[in-house]
Structure 1
Amino acid sequence: MAEVKSPLGEDARKTVGNALQGALVDLIDLALVAKQAHWNLTGRNFKVVHEHLDEVVDLAREGQDDVAERAVAIGVNPDGRARTVADRTALPQLEAGYLADDKVVAAVTDALAQVIARFRERVAETDEPDPITQDLLISITAQLEKQHWMFQAQT
Protein backbone atom coordinates (compact mmCIF):
# COMPACT_ATOMS: atom_id res chain seq x y z
CA MET A 1 0.00 0.00 0.00
CA ALA A 2 1.29 3.44 -0.90
CA GLU A 3 1.98 5.92 1.86
CA VAL A 4 1.56 9.66 1.68
CA LYS A 5 4.93 11.38 1.84
CA SER A 6 4.76 14.13 4.41
CA PRO A 7 5.87 17.66 3.56
CA LEU A 8 6.86 17.96 7.24
CA GLY A 9 9.85 16.62 9.12
CA GLU A 10 9.27 13.77 11.56
CA ASP A 11 9.09 15.92 14.73
CA ALA A 12 6.79 18.47 13.10
CA ARG A 13 4.59 15.71 11.65
CA LYS A 14 4.23 14.13 15.08
CA THR A 15 3.36 17.42 16.80
CA VAL A 16 0.91 18.47 14.11
CA GLY A 17 -0.56 14.97 13.82
CA ASN A 18 -1.28 14.92 17.55
CA ALA A 19 -2.94 18.34 17.33
CA LEU A 20 -5.08 17.22 14.40
CA GLN A 21 -6.06 13.95 16.08
CA GLY A 22 -7.13 15.79 19.22
CA ALA A 23 -9.12 18.24 17.12
CA LEU A 24 -10.78 15.36 15.28
CA VAL A 25 -11.89 13.69 18.51
CA ASP A 26 -13.21 17.00 19.86
CA LEU A 27 -15.19 17.73 16.71
CA ILE A 28 -16.66 14.25 16.38
CA ASP A 29 -17.82 14.24 19.99
CA LEU A 30 -19.09 17.84 19.79
CA ALA A 31 -21.28 16.79 16.84
CA LEU A 32 -22.54 13.78 18.78
CA VAL A 33 -23.30 15.81 21.92
CA ALA A 34 -25.13 18.46 19.90
CA LYS A 35 -27.15 15.87 17.98
CA GLN A 36 -28.08 14.02 21.18
CA ALA A 37 -29.31 17.31 22.63
CA HIS A 38 -31.14 18.11 19.37
CA TRP A 39 -33.10 14.86 19.51
CA ASN A 40 -34.05 15.09 23.20
CA LEU A 41 -34.66 18.81 23.62
CA THR A 42 -37.76 20.11 25.39
CA GLY A 43 -38.91 23.52 26.55
CA ARG A 44 -40.43 26.75 25.40
CA ASN A 45 -37.33 27.69 23.38
CA PHE A 46 -37.38 24.34 21.63
CA LYS A 47 -37.48 25.53 18.01
CA VAL A 48 -34.69 28.09 18.15
CA VAL A 49 -32.37 25.85 20.19
CA HIS A 50 -33.25 22.78 18.11
CA GLU A 51 -32.28 24.58 14.90
CA HIS A 52 -29.22 26.17 16.46
CA LEU A 53 -27.92 22.76 17.51
CA ASP A 54 -27.95 21.69 13.87
CA GLU A 55 -25.64 24.62 13.08
CA VAL A 56 -23.16 23.28 15.64
CA VAL A 57 -23.48 19.76 14.21
CA ASP A 58 -22.86 21.02 10.67
CA LEU A 59 -19.86 23.07 11.76
CA ALA A 60 -18.37 20.16 13.68
CA ARG A 61 -18.91 17.70 10.82
CA GLU A 62 -17.36 20.01 8.23
CA GLY A 63 -14.44 20.65 10.58
CA GLN A 64 -13.96 16.90 11.11
CA ASP A 65 -13.56 16.33 7.42
CA ASP A 66 -11.15 19.25 6.97
CA VAL A 67 -9.04 18.15 9.95
CA ALA A 68 -8.96 14.50 8.89
CA GLU A 69 -8.03 15.37 5.31
CA ARG A 70 -5.26 17.68 6.52
CA ALA A 71 -3.90 14.84 8.63
CA VAL A 72 -3.76 12.54 5.62
CA ALA A 73 -2.14 15.31 3.54
CA ILE A 74 0.76 15.45 6.01
CA GLY A 75 1.10 11.67 6.20
CA VAL A 76 -0.86 10.98 9.39
CA ASN A 77 -3.77 8.56 9.55
CA PRO A 78 -6.78 10.12 11.30
CA ASP A 79 -8.65 7.88 13.73
CA GLY A 80 -12.33 8.73 14.03
CA ARG A 81 -13.48 5.29 15.14
CA ALA A 82 -16.18 5.22 17.81
CA ARG A 83 -13.92 3.43 20.33
CA THR A 84 -11.15 6.00 19.83
CA VAL A 85 -13.54 8.91 20.32
CA ALA A 86 -15.15 7.29 23.38
CA ASP A 87 -11.75 6.57 24.95
CA ARG A 88 -10.21 9.98 24.24
CA THR A 89 -13.01 12.51 24.53
CA ALA A 90 -12.75 15.11 27.24
CA LEU A 91 -16.28 16.44 26.78
CA PRO A 92 -18.82 15.76 29.51
CA GLN A 93 -21.69 13.63 28.28
CA LEU A 94 -25.32 14.68 28.47
CA GLU A 95 -27.80 12.90 30.67
CA ALA A 96 -30.04 10.33 29.00
CA GLY A 97 -33.66 11.23 28.32
CA TYR A 98 -35.41 14.51 27.70
CA LEU A 99 -33.34 17.63 28.22
CA ALA A 100 -34.66 21.05 29.20
CA ASP A 101 -33.70 23.80 26.79
CA ASP A 102 -31.93 25.90 29.44
CA LYS A 103 -29.80 22.91 30.50
CA VAL A 104 -28.93 22.16 26.88
CA VAL A 105 -27.89 25.76 26.26
CA ALA A 106 -25.68 25.68 29.35
CA ALA A 107 -24.18 22.30 28.45
CA VAL A 108 -23.46 23.25 24.84
CA THR A 109 -22.02 26.60 25.93
CA ASP A 110 -19.69 24.74 28.28
CA ALA A 111 -18.78 22.11 25.69
CA LEU A 112 -17.96 24.77 23.13
CA ALA A 113 -15.80 26.65 25.67
CA GLN A 114 -13.84 23.48 26.42
CA VAL A 115 -13.30 22.66 22.74
CA ILE A 116 -12.27 26.25 22.01
CA ALA A 117 -9.70 26.21 24.82
CA ARG A 118 -8.12 23.05 23.39
CA PHE A 119 -8.23 24.42 19.85
CA ARG A 120 -6.44 27.57 21.00
CA GLU A 121 -3.72 25.37 22.53
CA ARG A 122 -3.42 23.52 19.23
CA VAL A 123 -3.19 26.81 17.35
CA ALA A 124 -0.19 27.74 19.52
CA GLU A 125 1.38 24.28 19.15
CA THR A 126 1.20 24.34 15.36
CA ASP A 127 2.55 27.88 14.88
CA GLU A 128 6.15 26.83 14.27
CA PRO A 129 5.86 23.31 12.85
CA ASP A 130 3.05 23.93 10.34
CA PRO A 131 1.40 27.32 9.73
CA ILE A 132 -0.92 25.71 7.16
CA THR A 133 -2.46 23.46 9.79
CA GLN A 134 -2.46 26.38 12.20
CA ASP A 135 -4.50 28.39 9.68
CA LEU A 136 -7.06 25.58 9.43
CA LEU A 137 -7.32 25.37 13.22
CA ILE A 138 -7.67 29.16 13.49
CA SER A 139 -10.53 29.10 10.98
CA ILE A 140 -12.39 26.36 12.85
CA THR A 141 -11.75 28.10 16.18
CA ALA A 142 -13.28 31.33 14.86
CA GLN A 143 -16.43 29.45 13.85
CA LEU A 144 -16.60 27.65 17.20
CA GLU A 145 -16.21 30.96 19.02
CA LYS A 146 -19.08 32.44 17.02
CA GLN A 147 -21.31 29.52 18.05
CA HIS A 148 -20.15 29.86 21.65
CA TRP A 149 -21.10 33.53 21.65
CA MET A 150 -24.54 32.74 20.24
CA PHE A 151 -25.23 30.01 22.79
CA GLN A 152 -23.82 32.06 25.66
CA ALA A 153 -26.15 34.93 24.72
CA GLN A 154 -29.08 32.61 25.43
CA THR A 155 -28.06 31.98 29.06
Structure 2
Amino acid sequence: MAVVKSPLTDEVRNAVGQALQGSLIDLIDLSLTAKQAHWNVTGRTFKSVHEQLDELTATARTASDSVAERAVMIGVNPDGRVQTIAHETSLPTLEPGWLPEDKVITSIVDALAGTISRFRERIDAVEADQVTQDLLITVTGQLEEQHWMFSVQR
Protein backbone atom coordinates (compact mmCIF):
# COMPACT_ATOMS: atom_id res chain seq x y z
CA MET A 1 0.00 0.00 0.00
CA ALA A 2 1.33 3.41 -0.98
CA VAL A 3 1.47 6.02 1.76
CA VAL A 4 1.41 9.70 0.89
CA LYS A 5 4.23 11.58 2.57
CA SER A 6 2.97 15.05 3.32
CA PRO A 7 5.24 18.07 2.95
CA LEU A 8 3.46 19.48 6.03
CA THR A 9 4.53 18.87 9.61
CA ASP A 10 2.41 16.37 11.50
CA GLU A 11 0.90 19.14 13.61
CA VAL A 12 -0.09 21.23 10.58
CA ARG A 13 -1.28 18.17 8.65
CA ASN A 14 -3.55 17.15 11.55
CA ALA A 15 -5.06 20.64 11.88
CA VAL A 16 -5.55 20.95 8.13
CA GLY A 17 -6.95 17.42 7.96
CA GLN A 18 -9.57 18.29 10.59
CA ALA A 19 -10.55 21.44 8.68
CA LEU A 20 -10.81 19.50 5.43
CA GLN A 21 -12.87 16.72 7.04
CA GLY A 22 -15.30 19.23 8.55
CA SER A 23 -15.57 20.95 5.18
CA LEU A 24 -16.21 17.63 3.46
CA ILE A 25 -19.03 16.80 5.86
CA ASP A 26 -20.62 20.22 5.33
CA LEU A 27 -20.39 19.99 1.56
CA ILE A 28 -21.72 16.45 1.25
CA ASP A 29 -24.67 17.20 3.52
CA LEU A 30 -25.29 20.52 1.73
CA SER A 31 -25.46 18.69 -1.60
CA LEU A 32 -27.88 16.11 -0.15
CA THR A 33 -30.02 18.81 1.46
CA ALA A 34 -30.18 20.80 -1.77
CA LYS A 35 -31.14 17.70 -3.75
CA GLN A 36 -33.84 16.75 -1.22
CA ALA A 37 -35.27 20.28 -1.49
CA HIS A 38 -34.99 20.10 -5.29
CA TRP A 39 -37.21 17.02 -5.38
CA ASN A 40 -39.82 18.41 -2.98
CA VAL A 41 -40.08 22.17 -3.59
CA THR A 42 -43.51 23.52 -4.54
CA GLY A 43 -44.90 26.94 -5.37
CA ARG A 44 -45.22 29.65 -8.00
CA THR A 45 -41.47 29.98 -8.52
CA PHE A 46 -40.93 26.23 -8.49
CA LYS A 47 -38.95 26.08 -11.73
CA SER A 48 -36.38 28.73 -10.87
CA VAL A 49 -35.87 27.46 -7.29
CA HIS A 50 -35.79 23.84 -8.54
CA GLU A 51 -33.07 24.70 -11.07
CA GLN A 52 -31.06 26.81 -8.62
CA LEU A 53 -31.08 23.93 -6.15
CA ASP A 54 -29.45 21.80 -8.84
CA GLU A 55 -26.78 24.49 -9.26
CA LEU A 56 -26.14 24.42 -5.52
CA THR A 57 -25.95 20.61 -5.56
CA ALA A 58 -23.41 20.70 -8.39
CA THR A 59 -21.34 23.38 -6.64
CA ALA A 60 -21.28 21.44 -3.37
CA ARG A 61 -20.46 18.13 -5.07
CA THR A 62 -17.60 19.61 -7.11
CA ALA A 63 -16.23 21.37 -4.03
CA SER A 64 -16.50 18.21 -1.90
CA ASP A 65 -14.41 16.33 -4.45
CA SER A 66 -11.75 19.07 -4.41
CA VAL A 67 -11.69 19.10 -0.61
CA ALA A 68 -11.43 15.30 -0.39
CA GLU A 69 -8.66 15.20 -2.98
CA ARG A 70 -6.73 17.90 -1.09
CA ALA A 71 -6.96 15.75 2.03
CA VAL A 72 -5.53 12.79 0.14
CA MET A 73 -2.72 14.99 -1.24
CA ILE A 74 -1.53 15.74 2.29
CA GLY A 75 -1.87 12.14 3.47
CA VAL A 76 -5.23 12.38 5.25
CA ASN A 77 -8.02 9.90 4.54
CA PRO A 78 -11.30 11.70 3.79
CA ASP A 79 -14.41 10.11 5.30
CA GLY A 80 -17.57 10.71 3.30
CA ARG A 81 -19.47 7.67 4.51
CA VAL A 82 -23.15 8.20 5.16
CA GLN A 83 -22.80 7.24 8.83
CA THR A 84 -20.08 9.84 9.30
CA ILE A 85 -22.09 12.56 7.59
CA ALA A 86 -25.25 11.74 9.57
CA HIS A 87 -23.37 11.64 12.88
CA GLU A 88 -21.20 14.73 12.44
CA THR A 89 -23.23 17.17 10.34
CA SER A 90 -24.04 20.63 11.63
CA LEU A 91 -26.66 21.35 8.97
CA PRO A 92 -30.31 21.43 10.03
CA THR A 93 -32.51 18.69 8.61
CA LEU A 94 -35.24 19.59 6.15
CA GLU A 95 -38.80 18.71 7.01
CA PRO A 96 -40.13 15.64 5.17
CA GLY A 97 -42.68 15.93 2.38
CA TRP A 98 -43.58 18.75 0.01
CA LEU A 99 -41.87 22.01 0.85
CA PRO A 100 -43.23 25.44 -0.05
CA GLU A 101 -40.69 27.55 -1.89
CA ASP A 102 -40.45 30.12 0.93
CA LYS A 103 -39.53 27.40 3.45
CA VAL A 104 -36.99 25.93 1.03
CA ILE A 105 -35.37 29.30 0.43
CA THR A 106 -35.20 30.07 4.15
CA SER A 107 -33.79 26.61 4.94
CA ILE A 108 -31.15 26.85 2.22
CA VAL A 109 -30.16 30.40 3.20
CA ASP A 110 -29.76 29.26 6.82
CA ALA A 111 -27.81 26.14 5.82
CA LEU A 112 -25.50 28.19 3.63
CA ALA A 113 -24.99 30.86 6.31
CA GLY A 114 -23.91 28.24 8.84
CA THR A 115 -21.67 26.50 6.34
CA ILE A 116 -20.03 29.76 5.30
CA SER A 117 -19.40 30.67 8.94
CA ARG A 118 -17.70 27.33 9.58
CA PHE A 119 -15.65 27.68 6.37
CA ARG A 120 -14.44 31.13 7.47
CA GLU A 121 -13.30 29.65 10.79
CA ARG A 122 -11.47 26.90 8.91
CA ILE A 123 -9.78 29.44 6.63
CA ASP A 124 -8.19 30.94 9.72
CA ALA A 125 -7.36 27.51 11.16
CA VAL A 126 -5.36 26.43 8.08
CA GLU A 127 -3.22 29.55 7.81
CA ALA A 128 -0.05 27.40 7.94
CA ASP A 129 -1.09 25.68 4.67
CA GLN A 130 -1.78 28.36 2.10
CA VAL A 131 -2.74 25.84 -0.58
CA THR A 132 -5.60 24.49 1.54
CA GLN A 133 -6.44 28.02 2.66
CA ASP A 134 -6.76 29.07 -0.99
CA LEU A 135 -9.05 26.12 -1.70
CA LEU A 136 -11.29 26.96 1.26
CA ILE A 137 -11.38 30.63 0.24
CA THR A 138 -12.45 29.65 -3.28
CA VAL A 139 -15.19 27.34 -2.00
CA THR A 140 -16.38 29.98 0.45
CA GLY A 141 -16.72 32.46 -2.41
CA GLN A 142 -18.84 29.96 -4.34
CA LEU A 143 -21.02 29.32 -1.29
CA GLU A 144 -21.41 33.04 -0.67
CA GLU A 145 -22.59 33.50 -4.26
CA GLN A 146 -25.22 30.79 -3.74
CA HIS A 147 -26.21 32.38 -0.42
CA TRP A 148 -26.71 35.72 -2.15
CA MET A 149 -28.76 34.18 -4.98
CA PHE A 150 -31.11 32.44 -2.56
CA SER A 151 -31.25 35.37 -0.13
CA VAL A 152 -32.56 37.83 -2.70
CA GLN A 153 -35.57 35.56 -3.26
CA ARG A 154 -36.88 36.04 0.29
TM-score (norm 1): 0.99
Distance 2:48 2:2 in 1: 48
Are 2:89 and 1:85 aligned?
no
Unmatched 5+ residue regions in structure 1? none
Distance 1:7 1:68 in 2: 17
Are 2:54 and 1:54 aligned?
yes
Q: 2:35 matched to which residue of 1?
A: 35
Unmatched 5+ residue regions in structure 2? none
Letter of the aligned partner of 1:132 in structure 2?
Answer: V
Q: SS at the partner of 2:6?
A: coil
Q: 1:140 matched to which residue of 2?
A: 139
CA RMSD of aligned residues (A): 0.4
TM-score (norm 2): 0.99
Q: SS at the partner of 1:54?
A: helix
In the TM superposition, residue 2 of structure 1 has moved relative to its aligned partner by 1.4
For residues 25-54 of structure 1, the C-alpha deviation after alignment (integer angstroms, 9 at most, x for no partner) is 000000000000000111011000000001
Distance 1:138 1:45 in 2: 31
Letter of the aligned partner of 1:65 in structure 2?
Answer: D
In the TM superposition, residue 154 of structure 1 has moved relative to its aligned partner by 0.4
Q: SS at the partner of 1:95?
A: coil
For residues 94-135 of structure 1, the C-alpha deviation after alignment (integer angstroms, 9 at most, x for no partner) is 0110000010000000000000000000001111x2000000
The aligned length equals 154
Letter of the aligned partner of 2:144 in structure 1?
Answer: E
Q: SS at the partner of 1:136?
A: helix
Letter of the aligned partner of 1:131 in structure 2?
Answer: Q
Distance 1:104 1:10 in 2: 42
For residues 52-107 of structure 1, the C-alpha deviation after alignment (integer angstroms, 9 at most, x for no partner) is 00110000000000000000000000000000000000000001100000100000
